[in-house]
Amino acid sequence: MTKTAEKVDTVTIRFAGDSGDGMQLTGTRFTSATAAIGNDLATLPDFPAEIRAPAGSLPGVSGFQLHFADHDILTPGDDPDVLVAMNPAALKANLGDLAPGATVILNADAFTSQNLKKARYAADPREDGSLEQVRVVEVPITTLTVGALEDVPDLNKKQKQRAKNMFALGLMSWMYSRPTAPTLEWLREKFASQPTVAEANIAAFEAGWNYGETTEVFDHRYEVAPAQLPSGRYRQITGNLALSYGLVAAADRAGLRLFLGGYPITPASDVLHELARHKSFGVQTFQAEDEIAGIGTALGASFAGQLGATVTSGPGIALKAETIGLAIAVELPLLVLNVQRGGPSTGLPTKTEQADLFQAVFGRNGEAPLPVIAAATPGDCFHTAIEGARLALRYRTPVIVLSDGYLANGAEPWRVPDVDDLPDLRDDAAFTTEPNGPDGEFLPFLRDEATLGRPWAVPGTPGLEHRIGGLEKAEGTGNISYDPDNHHRMTELRQAKVDRIADDIPPLEVDEGEGPGPRLLVLGWGSTYGPVAAAVRAARREGHAVAHAHLRHLNPFPANLGEVLARYDRVLVPEMNLGQLRTLLRARYLVDVQGYNRVRGLPFTTRELVEAIAAQLTDVDADR
C-alpha cells in the first residue's frame, strides 16, 4: 500500500441510502470485517417499517451506524465522523446528526434534479452553502460501479448499478484498513448459485477499494488497532441471535426440548427464524395463526413437559395477556420474550423503546404477579434468556424477558461463554413422577416449601393424572374452589412465590468509581446500559463523582435495592419511556427518584445523558 495510514482510537461511520440500496447489508459486512480485526464495536441499524418506501424519498432512508475503537466502548456513537450518503434523501435525513468537521461521502450520480425534488430539496445542497460545516467528498459511485462491471456479462445496466453498495463498502474498507478477504469469501458464498452476481459484487468492491488507493481526494487512510478486551474467544452477536441461542442453551442445560410458539412481528421475528434452523437440537417452532395461539401452543407444550416459549413485541404481549394469566393460575414454566418497540398500538415497529415495563409487571386481570427481567446489551440477551428459564423452571411460573429493538438488531463483540460454566437447570426442570400426598394421592398444588413452586407432572406419567385450569384452585388438591379464604390464601401464595425470588438473585452492585463518595446514583435498566455507562464514564472524566447501577431484575427487585437508593442524595433513572421504573421505585421505596425520559425511537446519546447528569449534580449542590 502506498498511502500512509493515520492511527486513530475511535471512529463512528454511518451508511445511509434508500431502503433498496442494501445499506443494512453493507453495514453488517463492514461490522464483520471490523470484528475480525478485533476492534470493540457497537452498531445501530435504523430503518423504516416499510419494506420499500418510494425510492429516493425521505421516509425510504435506511441507515446503519457503526462505532469501533481500540478500547472498550459502550454505544454506537453519538455523531458519525463519516457519513456515506447514497442519495440526496439520505444526506438530508442524516446531515443534522453530523458534528462540524465530519466527512460526508456523497454519491454524486444520485444528485439529479429528480432526486433532489424527491428529497424535498429546493436547491442543490452542494451549491447553496448548507454543507459548509462538513468536508464533502463527491464520488460518482454509480458511474464508477457500472464502469468497473463493463466486462461482466449477462447483466443489464440496472443490475450493475445495484452493486454500488459494494463499491461504497470497498471504499470504506480501504479508508479504515479493513481486511478484504472475509468480505470476498462471504460474497462468493452468498452468491454461490449466481456466479455472475458474485463476480459483479466482487468487482464493485475491489473498484471501491482501488478508488480510495488511487484517487487524489484521499491523501491517507486510517487504522484502528485491536481493542484490549478481556481474554477469551469472541464473536459478533446481535440481541435477537443471543436471545435465540440463550433459549437453545437453556433447554440444553435443563435437559428439556425447546418449543417456541410464535407469530411474525417486528422486531422479534428473527428469533422465530433463527430457532427454526436448529432442529438438530430438537427445537420445535410453531408459527401459529395469531399471537394468542403462539403462546397457547407454548403453554400446552409446557404442560406436556417441554420448555415452552413465545416471542413477540408489545402489541403481541397485549394479545397474550390472557394466556399469561392462565400460566400464572396453573403455575407452569413459560418464557415470554418481548422485544419492545415504540408504542402505543402499532407505534414505531422498527424503532426502539422501553415503554412496556408497566405492561410486563401489571398487564393482566386480577392479582397476577410474575418475574420480569431485562437484558442490558446484545450479548447479555443470551444470559438473560437463561436466567428467565431458570426462574420459570424453579418457580413454575411464566417469566417475561424484556429486550428491545436496539438490542435486537444492534451488534457487539461477545465473549463466548464456556458451556460448562452455564447454570445447570436439570434439578429445576425435574418432573414429578411419584404421588406426593399423605394417602398416596397426587396433590398438584402441594408446594415446594423452599420455592413455593408446585409439582410438574407431565402427561404420560401413570398415577399422576390431574386437571388444571383457570378457575381458582384449592390449595393442595387443585380442585375448583370458590372458598373466600382459599382464594385469599392462594392469591397471597402466588405473590409470595414471586417475592421470594428476591432472595435468589444477586444483590444490586453499584459502581462508585474512584475518588470521593458520589452523592448521585444513576440507575438504569434494559438497553440503556451502554449509553448510561458511557455517560457516567464521561462525567467522571470531567471530574464529577457519579455512582452507576443497572437493574436486570425488575420484578421482584434485588433485596438490597431500597437500601442502595437510600444511600444517595439523588437518584436519576434515564428511561426510553415517560418514567415507568421511576414510578415503580417511588411507589415501592418512597424515594424521590428523578427521571430523564425520551421516546425518540433511538437509544440515548452519551452527550444528552452527560448533560442530564450534570443538571442533577448542579441540583444536588444547590441543595447542599
Partner 1 sequence: MSQTTELPTLTKKDLTSDQEVRWCPGCGDYAILSTVQSVVPELGGPREDLVFVSGIGCSSRFPYYMDTYGVHSIHGRAPAIASGISASRPDLKVFVMTGDGDALSIGGNHLIHALRRNVNLTIVMFNNQIYGLTKGQYSPTSELGKITKSTPAGSVDHPFNPVSVALGAEASFVARSIDNERAHLSEVLRRAAEHEGTAFVEVYQNCNIFNDGAFDAVRGNKEQQIRLEHGEPIRFGADGERGVALAGTGELTLVDVAAVGEDALLVHDAHREDPGLAFMLSRLAHTPTGPTPIGIFREVSRPVYGQALQAQIDDAIARRGPGDLAELITGRDSWEV
**Binders of partner 1 in range 309-368 (CB under 8 A):** 322-323, 326, 330
One of 290, 424, 483, 492 touching partner 1 (CB under 8 A): 290
Can the peptide bond before residue 344 be classed as cis, meaning omega within 30 degrees of 0? Answer: yes
- DSSP secondary structure string, 144-185? HHHHHTTT-TT--HHHHHTTHHHHHHHHHHHHTT--SHHHHH
Which of 331, 340, 288 is closest to 312 using CA atoms? 340
User: By C-beta, is 232 or 517 nearer to partner 1?
Assistant: 232
Span 208-247, contacts to partner 1 by CB under 8 A: 226, 229-236, 245
Closest approach, Cβ 297 to partner 1, in A, equals 3
Q: Could you tell me how many residues make up the chain? A: 624
> What is the full DSSP assignment across 90-123?
HHHHHHTTPPTT-EEEEEGGG--HHHHHHTT-SS
Site membership for partner 1, residue 388 (CB under 8 A):
no
Tell me if 596 contacts partner 1 by CB under 8 A.
Answer: no
Interface with partner 1, residue 470, by CB under 8 A: yes
Sign of the alpha-carbon torsion through 460, 464, 466, 470: negative
Antiparallel, parallel or unpaired: β 372-374 and 553-555? antiparallel
Distance CA 404, CA 409 (A): 9
The distance of closest approach from Cβ of residue 140 to partner 1 in the complex, given in angstroms and rounded to an integer, is 33
To the nearest whole angstrom, how small is the minimum distance from the Cβ of residue 360 to partner 1?
20
38 binds partner 1 (CB under 8 A): yes
CB 402 within 8 A of CB 360: yes
414: three-class secondary structure by DSSP: strand
From candidates 68, 286, 445, 557, binder to partner 1 by CB under 8 A: 286
Is residue 476 involved in binding partner 1 (CB under 8 A)? Answer: no
Q: Which of 466, 487, 567, 600 binds partner 1 (CB under 8 A)?
A: 466
Measured between alpha carbons, how far is residue 434 from residues 440, 457, 469, 474 in Å? 9, 9, 22, 21
Q: How far, CA to CA in Å, does 63 sit from each of 291, 305, 578?
A: 30, 44, 26
d(CA 336, CA 284): 16
Question: Binding mask 401-420 vs partner 1 (x if CB under 8 A, - otherwise)?
Answer: --------------xxxxx-
Taking phi first (over 0 means left), then psi (-120 to 50 degrees means alpha), and beta for anything else, what does residue 232 get?
Answer: left
Closest approach, Cβ 212 to partner 1, in A, equals: 24
Q: Which of 96, 101, 129, 462 binds partner 1 (CB under 8 A)?
A: 462
**Binding partner 1 by CB under 8 A: which of 182, 476, 579, 601?**
182
Instruction: Tell me which of 108, 288, 348, 502 binds partner 1, using CB under 8 A.
Output: 288
Shortest distance, CB of residue 582 to partner 1, whole angstroms? 34
Answer yes or no whether residue 438 interacts with partner 1 by CB under 8 A. Answer: no
Cis geometry, peptide bond prior to residue 267 (ω within 30 degrees of 0): yes
Judged by CB under 8 A, the residue of 6, 465, 509, 563 near partner 1 is 465
Q: Packing angle between helix 380-395 and helix 484-500, nearest 10 degrees?
A: 150
Given 99, 192, 430, 471, the residue binding partner 1 (CB under 8 A): 471
Cα 74 from Cα 229, distance rounded (Å):
13
The full 3-state SS of 295-351, as one line of letters, equals HHHHHHHHHCCCEEEEEECHHHHHHHHHHHHHHHHHCCCEEEEEEECECCCCCECCC
Residue type, 544: H
Least distance to partner 1 from the beta carbon of 305, Å? 7
How far is 223 from 3, CA to CA, in rounded Å? 12
| The only residue of 32, 159, 196, 597 in contact with partner 1, by rule CB under 8 A | 32
Q: Which stretch binds partner 1 (CB under 8 A): 79-87, 119-127, 282-290, 489-497?
A: 282-290
Is 279 a residue that touches partner 1 (CB under 8 A)?
Answer: yes
Nearer to partner 1, 1 or 419 (CB): 419
282 binds partner 1 (CB under 8 A): yes
User: 421: helix, coil or strand?
Assistant: helix
Give the bridge partners for 597, in sequence order.
575
Burial 117-148 (b: 16+ CB within 10 A, else e): ebbebeeebbeeeebeebeebebbbbebbbeb
Asked if 257 interacts with partner 1 (CB under 8 A), we say yes
Q: Per CB under 8 A, does 99 bind partner 1?
A: no
Give the count of residues interacting with partner 1 (CB under 8 A): 71
Q: How far, in Å, CA of 465 to CA of 213, rounded?
A: 74
Q: How many CB atoms lie within 10 A of CB 422?
A: 16
Which of 2, 280, 345, 365: binder of partner 1 (CB under 8 A)? 280
Q: Which is nearer to partner 1, 203 or 326 (CB)?
A: 326
* Distance (Å, whole) CA 447 – CA 475: 9
Choices 49-57, 72-80, 81-89, 301-309; region in contact with partner 1 by CB under 8 A: 301-309
36 binds partner 1 (CB under 8 A): yes
264 vs 417, beta carbon nearer partner 1: 417
Collect all residues with Cβ–Cβ distance below 8 Å to 299 and sequence separation of at least 6: 308, 323, 326, 327, 330, 332, 334
Q: Pick from 278, 540, 586, 600 the residue near partner 1 by CB under 8 A.
A: 278
Among 43, 62, 306, 606, which residue interacts with partner 1 (rule: CB under 8 A)?
A: 306
For partner 1, the closer CB: 113 or 479? 479
Kindly state the smallest distance separating residue 596's Cβ from partner 1, in Å.
34
Which member of 5, 49, 225, 468 binds partner 1 (CB under 8 A)? 468
Q: Interface with partner 1 includes 399 (CB under 8 A)?
A: no
Asked if residue 395 binds partner 1 (CB under 8 A), the reply is: no
- Is 161 a residue that touches partner 1 (CB under 8 A)? no
Binding residue (CB under 8 A) for partner 1 from 17, 27, 77, 296: 296
Do 336 and 308 form a contact (C-beta atoms < 8 A)? no
Q: Is 299 in the site for partner 1 (CB under 8 A)?
A: yes
Q: Which is nearer to partner 1, 102 or 224 (CB)?
A: 224
Single residue of 111, 167, 382, 568 touching partner 1 by CB under 8 A: 382
